[in-house]
Amino acid sequence: MVRYILRRLVLFIPVALGITIIVFVLIRFAPGDPIYTMLGLDYSKEAAEGLRHQLGLDRPIPVQYAFWVGRVLRGELGRSFFSREPVLAMILRRLPTTVMLTITSMSVALLISVPTGIISARWKDTIIDNVSRLVAILGVSIPVFWLGLMLLVVFGAYLRWFPIGGTVQEYGPKALVLPSIALGSGFTALLTRMIRSNLIETLGEDYIRTARAKGLTDNKVYFHHALKNALIPVITVVGLQFGTLLGGAVLTETIFNLPGLGRLLVDAINARDYPIIQGCVLTISFFFVVANLVVDVMYGFIDPRIRYR
């Protein structure tokens, strides 16, 4: 198991290199110039050339990338073009808000989708099942930004039950309620449909019929035999969705004005602050890989047939 984990962590290196190369090249060919933004009204050709040389932007792109990778290997992500603050410090300051939002969204999704999916499968084609499927379809179809805006208007501006923007330090857990619902709605719907379909398929297997023929109760069949096997594919989706939710926080944090990693990335993109963009993308990529690694390890505990070499 330890050897498998180490091998997966080593495989993160080429994945991270590939992602950073793509991002590094794309943002430098994107419209806009950070030098023009930084100089503003003081822009001149001489000043621009001097600042470009100072930041190392006059070097060839491969050379710039090599210098940046060298800093990363030393535990540095560079400094912001505008604030001159270390990028790593900025990310570490914003990361807890994003991780907290992601975990809260996933927790809410699991608490709702698992029992709903089980109930929907157990009472298949009943009114309960039809209602849950309709709600799940709506949850998948509604865009996050639209749902977030509606939640802000209804529960923030009109009813004033929750704050419009702000941090957990200012308003407590209430600051994450609306963002968590908006971010986790699609995941809740997806997970509900998946649990239902997997459980229905598992209940049709021969070993389930054998268990019932032996006289086992319905609860024993559902929770001891069927549910355990039906949740194995779901775990894969949960692992992948953790990274997706982390990336989806970019839009959610912008709508709800949360000072997280996603908001930092959006501000950096608007300002063409290359070091921050590269650092944020690398951080999100790392969480993707770690989430998938955790899922693979959990397989061994849930399904004893899986062995790692």
Cβ atoms of 144 and 197 closer than 8 Å: no
Instruction: Return per-residue pLDDT of the chain as tens, 309 residues.
Output: 677 667 777 777 787 788 878 888 888 777 777 787 777 766 777 787 887 888 777 788 888 888 888 888 888 888 888 888 888 999 998 888 888 888 888 888 888 888 888 888 878 888 888 888 888 888 878 888 888 888 888 888 888 888 777 666 677 777 788 888 888 888 888 888 888 888 888 777 777 777 777 777 777 777 776 777 777 777 777 777 777 777 777 888 888 888 888 888 888 888 888 888 888 888 888 888 777 777 777 766 666 555 555
Q: Taking phi first (over 0 means left), then psi (-120 to 50 degrees means alpha), and beta for anything else, what does residue 44 get? A: beta
**Domain map of the chain by residue range?**
32-76, 94-302
How far is Cα 115 from Cα 135, in angstroms, rounded to an integer? 14
Q: Which residues of 56-82 are buried (b: 16+ CB within 10 A; e: fewer)?
A: ebeeeeeebbeebeeebeeeebbbbbe
Which CATH code is given to the segment(s) 94-302?
1.10.3720.10
61: phi then psi, degrees, rounded to nearest 5 = -60, -45
Q: Which amino acid is at 175?
A: A
The SS3 call for residue 76 is: coil
Cβ atoms of 278 and 23 closer than 8 Å: yes
Q: Which amino acid is at 104?
A: T
The SS3 call for residue 284 is: helix
The SS3 call for residue 43 is: coil
Cβ atoms of 76 and 88 closer than 8 Å: yes
Query: Which H/E stretch holds residue 225?
Result: none
Q: Per the structure block, which two tokens stand in for 168?
A: 């957990």
